[in-house]
Chain A
Amino acid sequence: MEAADRVTGLDLVGALKSAALAAAIAVGLFGFVIGFRTEQIAGPLSLTPRPVLLALVVAVVFAGRFLMVLLWTARGDVLSLAPRLPDSVKPALARIGEWVAPALLAFALATPIIFYDNRYLLDLGIMVLTYVMLGWGLNIVVGLAGLLDLGYVAFYAVGAYSYALLAQYFGWSFWICLPLAGILAAFWGILLGFPVLRLRGDYLAIVTLAFGEMIRIVLTNWQSFTGGPNGVSAPRPSFFGIPFSAGDDGFAATFGLEFSATHRVVFLFYLILALALVTNWATIRLRRLPVGRAWEAMREDEIACRSLGINTTNTKLTAFAIGAMFGGVAGAFFATRQGFISPESFVFMESAMILAIVVLGGMGSQIGVAVAALVMIGGFELFREFAQFRMLIFGAAMVAIMVWRPRGLVATREPSIFLKERKTVSAEMVAEGRG
């Protein structure tokens, strides 16, 4: 960007005009929301005007916009909000970037040891890792194959209910049910895949959204089988057959330890870490196999794929099935951790959250998704005290990331194979996939 041919210096009139416009919009937006308050002291509802508060908010908007425009014109760069990094910093950043993944993994491995006494943090860690796994699972469908899936939570629900119901009706143990939950979810993934094969983009998103709701509504209403809104209890996990109980045959007694409820939490932590790492390993391997390359090629151009003899039907179905399988395994884990599941855990908000993690992390990027899950779920918890403003902060953070990093935290793509040197592919080249 050549600063020379831009208008530099302070443009007061322009800034005032722009600020006045922003203030007018603010009056329209907040006029009724902030300007009036409904009160019901006794009898009918009455309106209390709050002109001072409204004026204050509008003044803040006016001042903010005024300063923003002044700052832009002073820098001579209107379009870009992002802070520019000098080129000399970039190699250093790349070196740091290489250490992010191992550092995160080491931190995850050490967390139960460091925070052994902090039950709250361990539980939070388990939750973050569950979303990391879900994010990585959805990343296969959305990030690699480019199929926008708004109903991913359906597979999470299928996995959770598979475990809970198999355990309830047949008394099968967690370790038998875990792969079964994955297989059943994959089966449902294929089942969803067939009708939506011909759909693309927005239409695909709508159908997957409907599918997610269908699963939840069936679970709610099939009272005799699933327990309906009352939910169903799922057995707690055992250490490969040894229960985490205070008795003589329990985990603590078997290994000569003093009984502690934390043992189970630590076990759950390492279990979900292992499951998430298996997901990651499988995704990395699959990307280097022909099927993974076909997924990415399909995201780039489906017609070209067909002209090369790739069966795009099967390729889409494998993406749906494998993504769903990991979702199902995560669901079974969720059921055993909670000990109780009900349809309320599988609402659309969950799908939106997982999709947001994938999109914010950078579609197709494994480390980006992990960081996004940590920030979104961990950050969401941090603001628990400000429960009223949580969604506001959440929304503002998402807008901020989309302004500064429109293609997610890690937007570059690593090639799956190289001849001489590995060059990352910049985000502008990579297609987002239209179904």
Chain B
Amino acid sequence: MNAAPTILEVEHLTMRFGGLIAIDDLSFAARRGDITALIGPNGAGKTTVFNCITGFYKPTVGMMRLTHDDGATFLLERLLDFRVAQRARVARTFQNIRLFAGMTVLENLMVAQHNPLMAASGYSIAGLFGLATYARAERAAVERARYWMDQTGLTPRADDPAGSLPYGEQRRLEIARALCTGPVLLCLDEPAAGLNPRESAELNALLRSIRDQHAMSILLIEHDMSVVMEISDHVVVLDYGIKIADGPPDAIRNDQKVIAAYLGVADEEVAQVAAEVGI
């Protein structure tokens, strides 16, 4: 596992919004084929890191280098948001689910395959006159959508509007939609939020199968520690935009700084420190 090359290197990433420093000099690396978790208390800057990686924010300072299997490298901070998905093949989900609510599950998954289908339809001109190449490409796209629907258990709901699905299925659909873009790096923003324990366990199994069978790398933001500790190979902990720990889950579990950031410290400890400093 340790010999696996890095897929994403983040170096000295800093993001300022006016006077607010959301991320301060963050560096970490995600290895290929790993599930890397990004955790931290509320407001720690996790989603900001995601928005920087996926191109929705332009970082104030820093470099993010993504390397494909074939050795092609992309500097993500230089790409527009849709180019990050299109060229660098980084797919993401959102903390507050963003589906195309008025379109069916299958249509959602077809929209995700827009770029290959667009090329196959001859930028709509060949498709408009019904050439066979497009029909073939569309059938292949439906098959691919079907595969991910089977994996996420959404096949019975294929023709239902996405907005009518229950919450857990909407979460799974958003992941399936991201997977349909054929990503090399999948960024999931709190995929287990709002799921019950059974759904959460199913999600863990799905994420493992994505990693093991499809050789995808996953970057994960999560609050649910049971999910993080169970499935991630590598954990990065943020607090107030600063990295406070970085390592395998077992090491993170016992890290004093992490415990302090999550649980706070005991009152007598504060008193002790205050006495030492001399307040």
CB pair A309–B107 under 8 Å, yes or no, is: no
Please report the C-alpha to C-alpha distance between residue A310 and residue B128 in the assembled complex, in whole angstroms: 19
Please report the C-alpha to C-alpha distance between residue A296 and residue B54 in the assembled complex, in whole angstroms: 23
Q: Does A420 contact B (CB under 8 A)?
A: yes
Q: Does A119 contact B (CB under 8 A)?
A: no
CB pair B115–A309 under 8 Å, yes or no, is: yes
Q: Does B244 contact A (CB under 8 A)?
A: no
Which residue of chain A has the shortest Cβ distance to B88 in the bound complex? A309
Q: Does A280 contact B (CB under 8 A)?
A: no
Contacts of B142 in A (CB 8 A): 417, 419
CB pair A293–B114 under 8 Å, yes or no, is: yes
Contacts of A303 in B (CB 8 A): 56, 94, 98
Contacts of A301 in B (CB 8 A): 98-101
CB pair B111–A294 under 8 Å, yes or no, is: yes
Q: Does A67 contact B (CB under 8 A)?
A: no
| In the complex, chain B residues 138-194 whose Cβ is within 8 Å of any chain A Cβ | 138, 142, 146, 155, 158-164, 177-178, 181
Please report the C-alpha to C-alpha distance between residue A300 and residue B99 in the assembled complex, in whole angstroms: 8
CB pair B81–A290 under 8 Å, yes or no, is: no
| In the complex, chain B residues 91-105 whose Cβ is within 8 Å of any chain A Cβ | 91-92, 94, 98-104
Which residue of chain B has the shortest Cβ distance to A308 in the bound complex? B112
CB pair B107–A293 under 8 Å, yes or no, is: yes
CB pair B102–A307 under 8 Å, yes or no, is: no
| In the complex, chain A residues 224-244 whose Cβ is within 8 Å of any chain B Cβ | none
CB pair B82–A289 under 8 Å, yes or no, is: no
CB pair B103–A423 under 8 Å, yes or no, is: no
| In the complex, chain A residues 413-435 whose Cβ is within 8 Å of any chain B Cβ | 413, 415-423, 425-426, 428-431
Q: Does A276 contact B (CB under 8 A)?
A: no
CB pair A429–B102 under 8 Å, yes or no, is: yes
Cβ of A161 to closest chain B Cβ, rounded Å: 28
Given A304-B99, A420-B158, A425-B114 contact (CB < 8 Å): no
Contacts of B84 in A (CB 8 A): 309
CB pair B127–A289 under 8 Å, yes or no, is: yes
Please report the C-alpha to C-alpha distance between residue A347 and residue B239 in the assembled complex, in whole angstroms: 59
Among B54, B111, B159, the most chain A Cβ lie within 10 Å of the Cβ of B111
Contacts of A429 in B (CB 8 A): 101-102, 161-164
Cβ of A416 to closest chain B Cβ, rounded Å: 6
Q: Does B271 contact A (CB under 8 A)?
A: no
Contact for B177 among A308, A418, A422, CB less than 8 A: A308
Per-position 1/0 for A298-320, Cβ under 8 A of B: 01110111111111100000100
Contact for B94 among A291, A299, A307, A420, CB less than 8 A: A307
Please report the C-alpha to C-alpha distance between residue A296 and residue B100 in the assembled complex, in whole angstroms: 8
Q: Does A17 contact B (CB under 8 A)?
A: no
Cβ of B122 to closest chain A Cβ, rounded Å: 10
CB pair A291–B118 under 8 Å, yes or no, is: yes
CB pair A306–B102 under 8 Å, yes or no, is: no
Please report the C-alpha to C-alpha distance between residue A282 and residue B164 in the assembled complex, in whole angstroms: 30
Cβ of B151 to closest chain A Cβ, rounded Å: 15
Given A289-B124, A293-B114, A309-B115, A418-B106 contact (CB < 8 Å): yes
Please report the C-alpha to C-alpha distance between residue A56 and residue B266 in the assembled complex, in whole angstroms: 79
CB pair B102–A431 under 8 Å, yes or no, is: yes
Given A293-B114, A301-B98, A301-B99, A419-B127 contact (CB < 8 Å): no
Please report the C-alpha to C-alpha distance between residue A290 and residue B121 in the assembled complex, in whole angstroms: 8
Q: Does A285 contact B (CB under 8 A)?
A: yes
Among B85, B114, B155, the most chain A Cβ lie within 10 Å of the Cβ of B114
Contact for A308 among B111, B155, B160, CB less than 8 A: B111
Contact for B159 among A299, A318, A413, A421, CB less than 8 A: A421
Q: Does A22 contact B (CB under 8 A)?
A: no
Cβ of A421 to closest chain B Cβ, rounded Å: 6
CB pair A415–B111 under 8 Å, yes or no, is: no
Q: Does A108 contact B (CB under 8 A)?
A: no
A residues with a Cβ closer than 8 A to B are 282, 285-286, 289-291, 293-294, 296-297, 299-301, 303-312, 318, 413, 415-423, 425-426, 428-431
A and B contact pairs by CB, cutoff 8 A, 8 listed: A290-B124, A294-B114, A299-B102, A303-B56, A306-B81, A308-B111, A309-B114, A423-B161
Sorted nearest first, the 10 A-B pairs with minimum C-beta distance are: A430-B102, A309-B85, A309-B86, A300-B100, A429-B163, A419-B158, A304-B98, A290-B117, A297-B111, A425-B161
Contacts A285-B128, A305-B82 known; list 8 others, CB within 8 Å: A289-B134, A290-B118, A296-B107, A308-B178, A309-B84, A417-B138, A425-B102, A429-B162
